[in-house]
Chain A
Amino acid sequence: MRNMKLTLKIWRQSGPNAKGEMKTYPVNDVSEDMSFLEMLDVLNDDLVRKGEEPIAFDHDCREGICGSCSLFINGEAHGPGRMITTCQLHMRKFKDGDTIHVEPWRSGAFPVIKDLAVDRSAFDRIQAAGGFVSVNTSGNLVDGNAVPIPKDDADTAFDAATCIGCGACVATCVNSSAMLFVAAKVSQFALLPQGKPEAKRRVLAMVEQMDKEGFGNCSNTGACEVECPKGISLEHIARMNREYLTASATKD
């Protein structure tokens, strides 16, 4: 298989307050077996050799489990392809001669740090507001199997817990809404007996923090579910809508 020649149009921005722009980079010799990030590594290698500033982008595990990698590629979060992150996107999805647009996640709540890297700490603050179970873990461990949980509930909670906090849902939403992420984090506890005691406080606090961070509202377009690398379902958003409604109506 012949290697590909591609034209990349990449967002460059030297710092948080700097003015950015789309810059064009030709890359030759791209193997279809490379991941998208490896292709960027090759480009960066080239830039460093030429004495230019390499392109900053987030990455860590490179196997689709950490949620670090981002990138809005050719108008879609994590590029074309479903149920994958950018590190799982292979260059065989592209053709020789293609032009590829690469932009950072765009959301007021995810400010650009540099080039393609954005600050997603808003997600951490939402999680810290209520996405936990308060238990004293010093010396009073309870056997996990001592609490019976219906299998379906356990499975649905697990599905919600597969959210890797990548932010593709926000990036792809026309309103920059974080509903899918927050709903996943609310659901993973709401379905389990361990999460029930704090359920009300949790959903109220997490939604309040979500609004404070400046994410948009949910229009139920469903784009997040399509672009989410873990296939988090809109059913979790409905569950959060229910949880929040009953919590607001019954809180003291």
Chain B
Amino acid sequence: MARSALLGSSLAKKYWMALTGLFLCTFLIAHLAGNLQLLDMSPEGQLKFNAYAKFMTTFPLVKLVSYVLYASILFHAFDGFLLAVQNRKARPVKYAHEKAGANSTWYGRQMALLGTLVLVFLIIHMKTFWYEMHWGELGLDVDGNKDLYTLVATVFTQWWYVALYVMSMLVLAYHLLHGFQSAFQSLGLNHPRYTPVIKNVGVFFAVIVPVFFALIPVWMFINA
């Protein structure tokens, strides 16, 4: 019983994929809201950002949510891996001639590849900022907070890092373009009246969120 509730069936695997995926979507909104403060590159803006970073890494409730978040990313990736392995095994002999574009989008079929690229980006991203914030040698600002702002600003003077960031947001956009509405369908939330709305919100979300994320490094690179 416990097995079937967690990962035993194909459908259970998809419920978890959808739940963790939607949770990650809410995280994206919160993370973006925090990051947008970086657009203020004045000295006061820097101090405010560092104070915010300190709050985010020390306030108990935020810390608790962040553990749920790490678990969700790992579980989403692990579950996605299990699904992808089964999916590959389900067709041992491939078609010699296939016209998949006639009935579905490439990004809908390539969720595992897009997800893997997002994961690679997340690892690089967390090494650059999250790891350094927690265990690296960061200087202190005039308020005595760890100076994450200066680290971010320095990293974003490198054109290749900015380019990597922008490319990764494009990948994320495609993952969300399919993923957002797909999660509702996986959970059985399909309704003639609401599904078109969900689909439109999904497209909006998949475009707006990555575009704003990508805007930050580009802005900081230009104004460095």
Contact = CB atoms under 8 A, between A and B. Distances in A.
Interface string B12-26: 111100000000000
B83 interface: yes
A56 to B, nearest CB: 17
Nearest to A225: B103
B171 to A, nearest CB: 17
A175 B9 contact: no
A70 B162 CA distance: 50
19 contacts: A75-B98, A106-B94, A106-B95, A172-B103, A174-B100, A175-B86, A175-B87, A176-B87, A210-B10, A216-B86, A217-B10, A217-B14, A217-B87, A219-B108, A220-B182, A238-B185, A238-B190, A241-B188, A242-B188
A207 interface: yes
B193 interface: no
Interface centre among A103, A220, A238, A245 (most CB of B within 10 A): A220
A238 B188 contact: yes
Interface string A217-228: 111111100110
A136 B172 CA distance: 55
Contacts of B4: 248
Contacts of B104: 174, 221-223, 226
B96 interface: yes
Interface of A: 9, 11, 22, 72, 74-76, 80, 101, 103, 106-109, 172, 174-177, 207-208, 210-211, 214-223, 226-227, 234-235, 237-245, 248
A108 to B, nearest CB: 5
B134 interface: no
B105 interface: yes
Nearest to B83: A217
Interface of B: 4-5, 9-15, 83, 86-87, 89-100, 102-105, 108-109, 111, 178, 181-182, 185-190, 192
A75 B102 contact: yes
Contacts of A211: 9-10
A74 to B, nearest CB: 6
Interface centre among B9, B10, B99, B111 (most CB of A within 10 A): B10
Contacts of A108: 89-92
A106 B96 CA distance: 10
A121 B155 CA distance: 59
A239 B186 CA distance: 10
A109 B83 CA distance: 17
Q: Determine the main DSSP class of A at the interface with B.
A: mixed
Contacts of A227: 103
A72 B92 contact: no
B10 A219 contact: no
Contact of B102 (A11, A76, A107, A208): A76
A175 B188 CA distance: 19
Contact of B90 (A103, A176, A243): A176
B14 A174 contact: no
Contact of B89 (A74, A208, A214, A223): A214
A210 B102 CA distance: 26
B85 to A, nearest CB: 10
Given A207-B10, A221-B178, A241-B15, 13 more contacts: A75-B98, A176-B91, A177-B87, A207-B11, A217-B13, A219-B108, A219-B111, A220-B186, A237-B185, A238-B189, A241-B186, A241-B187, A248-B9
